[in-house]
Structure 1
Amino acid sequence: MEILLKYFADFTPAQLQQFAALQDLYTDWNSKINVISRKDMDGLYEKHVLHSLSIAAFIEFNPGTQVIDIGTGGGFPGIPLAIFFPEVEFLLVDSIGKKLKVVNGIAEAIGLKNVTTQHTRAEDIKTRKFDFAVSRAVAPLKDLWTWSKPLLKKGGQQEMPNGLICLKGGDLTVEIFESDVRPRMVAIQNIFREESFKDKHLLHVSR
């Protein structure tokens, strides 16, 4: 929890309470439904929560913004972002229903009112449009863009154009080449100077 306060200083008491509750909640849920590697549980706040919040350090979502988290798994980056942006609407989707059981349980326990979930694949959503899609190490960039592009509204009213924001690691040269898009790429270690973020990047593809 302390590592969040190293980089963010303006949380409300409600947000502090919600973030503080995540360790025990994920520990409990993870013992029933494995959504986080057990060796990562001790580093939950750095490796999962802070990593997710690199998106919040990159862009300030305006109130009323609609965001879809594609392949949310145990709720990353969606849950930390929903705590950070309480006036932004988040739809967290995953094709594995038991993972969404964890997400729903945690969202309910901490009183998140701006999160809904859907047991589906992103490519099967036909009736909704979003300002941004976010994702964390779910699939190659080419696939993520194919799935998210039809879901995104063009233009936007933010500091950056609507689009896909994804968190990825390693050498992305081939993956970006094969995606046929030109993302803006930011090294996460330039945002949060932690050793664990070496070779991790944030990519933004404009719609």
Structure 2
Amino acid sequence: MLKNKLIQLLEKTDLHYSDLQINQLVGYVEMLNKWNKAYNLTSVRDPQQMLIKHIVDSLVVSPYLQKTPNKNNKFIDVGTGPGLPGMPLAIANPDSEFTLLDSLGKRIRFITQVNHEQGIKNVTPMLSRVEDHHGEYSGVLSRAFASISDMVHWSHHLVAKDGRFFALKGQLDQEEIEALPEFVKVEEIIQLTVPELEGERHLVVLSKRND
């Protein structure tokens, strides 16, 4: 049963959620699995693996979102795909606002339906290219971009004063860090632990230079 599996995974972390949140996360996975058969939203086919590779992999970032000094509590997930990491993080942080942005209509339709069926109140689905969207956010999140440089180039205009970029990465390439544009600096690189996930996971926290 998916709910039992998710509870087992979370017990191996420091994360704690209400029964409602657990049910919403499981409901999201069930919908993702159902829609995936028709719309090919993710390459992960097994719902049990979705819990590891999509849900817990996203949730482990949650404790670090307060690392942004800007406290407007608005976050944007750029290139969210079917809502990752934005939807699990929104469920985990109901007092924050999350904009989930993607340029493909089928993904945004899916997220809209998740909001409706799971009763998610703090997610705004946004059909747009990153460069065409405007707003000011405490945190800009992404795990979709091939490189961190691409992420900050495309989304630098979305970071509020004292806001942060949160780049979710697998194995970290030192050359990628060294190739970052001059207008950003690395605040912190955090090694993440995801139960039952093979391979490395990192969170790179960046800020815009104020000079």
TM-score bucket of the superposed structures, by smaller chain? 0.7 to 0.9
Runs of 4+ with >6 A deviation: none
> Which residue of structure 2 lines up, in the alignment, with residue 144 of structure 1?
151
> Which residue of structure 2 lines up, in the alignment, with residue 53 of structure 1?
59
Of the structure 1 ranges 173-182 and 75-84, higher mean CA displacement relative to structure 2 is found in 173-182
> Which residue of structure 1 lines up, in the alignment, with residue 202 of structure 2?
201
CA shift in 2, pair 1:171/1:85, >3 Å: closer
Question: Is 2:72–2:138's contact at 8 Å kept on the other side of the alignment?
Answer: no
The one-character-per-residue Cα deviations of 1:19-41 (angstroms, maximum 9, x if unpaired) are 22123211111112111114454
More strand by share: 2
The one-character-per-residue Cα deviations of 1:141-193 (angstroms, maximum 9, x if unpaired) are 111111222111112xxxxxx2100111124212111113442211113xx4x
| TM-score (normalizing by structure 2) | 0.85
Question: Is 2:80–2:144's contact at 8 Å kept on the other side of the alignment?
Answer: no
Aligned partners of 2:21 and 2:14: how far apart in 1? Answer: 11
Of 124, 139, 142, the match for 1:135: 142
Identity %: 31
Aligned partners of 1:114 and 1:49: how far apart in 2? Answer: 17
Unaligned runs of 5+ in 1: 156-161
Of 95, 100, 108, the match for 1:92: 100
The one-character-per-residue Cα deviations of 1:113-141 (angstroms, maximum 9, x if unpaired) are 00011111111113x21111001132311
Of 10, 14, 26, the match for 2:32: 26
2:75 corresponds to which letter in structure 1? V
1:187 corresponds to which letter in structure 2? Q
Aligned partners of 2:139 and 2:132: how far apart in 1? Answer: 17
* Number of equivalences: 197
> Which residue of structure 1 lines up, in the alignment, with residue 167 of structure 2?
166
Unaligned runs of 5+ in 2: 1-5
CA shift in 2, pair 1:52/1:114, >3 Å: same
Computed over aligned residues only, the root mean square deviation of the Cα atoms, in angstroms, reads 2.1
